[in-house]
Structure 1
Amino acid sequence: MEGKSCVLTLFTNRYQAYQPPQGVPVRITLGAPRFKLPYSLTHAVRELAPRREYLSRPEPEFIKAYRADLDRLGPARIAERLREITEAENDHRLVLLCFEDLSKPALWCHRRTFASWWKDATGDEVRELSPMADYKQGTLM
């Protein structure tokens, strides 16, 4: 693929803070929100949700397992899946959503682990759209 259809601009946010002008909302959690959203959530990339086997493990173990899953998928396959959404929506801006409020100190989240992995794999930044505590997410190995 060439041209505009190749462009991907990725962001992360939490379900409760997402605003439609930010881009296309994309669920990357195992479960959908059980609360009413003021926007439509029509896209999900289940491949980016962490697996139940390590979901409740301590952060270093979680990050190692989650990054290994991302490595197995690879950036090309993930980009292909994300581009399907950009083409369907005619918008290159995707906002990958999950639940955690990262403005609270000591909270961490797989969306920032994905962002760190994506930067390592592709060189492209994935900016968080919500406030974050001063904690470097997703960089433990």
Structure 2
Amino acid sequence: MLTLFTNRYQAFRPSQGVPVRITLGAPRFKLPYPLTCAVRELAPRREYFSKSLPEFTAAYRADLDQLGATWIAQRLRQIAEEQGDHRLVLLCFEDLSDPAQWCHRRIFASWWKDVTGDGVRELGPLGSPYEQGTLL
């Protein structure tokens, strides 16, 4: 069994599950919890950050398609088994309570729902574009 969530590093709480880094870089600020798991393959490439949201989304989703849901699920299940908890929380930096913000964790969640049928709930507060379902 595998249950996926998303959140930002600063809003994550250990009671939510296992924190999993999906960013190229680790937080440079002190976290109140250990961050020992990472799936760097789920981080977008550096060159994507200069792109518009539609271009970024298309490029990132193409990368996810290339990895494939089977490989991603195996990697995430491995972490869940090692950690003894089926609840994995995929973390990045963006504060989605700000309606102007968007991030790859919700693009991943949308892709995952499209290819597996399984939803990935955001645990942090969401701004209006996400509440309206445009990226869920």
TM norm structure 1: 0.92
Counterpart of 1:100, as a letter, is E
Give the match for residue 127 of structure 1: 121
Give the match for residue 85 of structure 2: 91
Deviations 1:68-127 (A, max 9, x none): 000001100000000110010110000000000000011100000000000000000000
Q: What's the RMSD between the two structures over aligned residues?
A: 1.0
Distance in 1 separating the partners of 2:60 and 2:70: 17
- Whether contact under 8 Å (1:105, 1:133) holds in the other structure is yes
Counterpart of 2:107, as a letter, is T
Which aligned pairs between 1:47-86 and structure 2 lie closer than 5 A? 47-86=41-80
Gaps of 5+ in 1: 1-6
Give the match for residue 30 of structure 2: 36
- Whether contact under 8 Å (2:8, 2:94) holds in the other structure is yes
Of residues 96, 101, 115 in structure 2, which corresponds to 1:102? 96
Figure out how many residues of one structure are paired with residues of the other and give that number: 133
Distance in 2 separating the partners of 1:84 and 1:55: 29
Distance in 1 separating the partners of 2:75 and 2:119: 18
TM norm structure 2: 0.95
1:17 aligns with 2:11: yes
Distance in 2 separating the partners of 1:27 and 1:55: 18
Paired residue secondary structure (2:106)? helix
Gaps of 5+ in 2: none
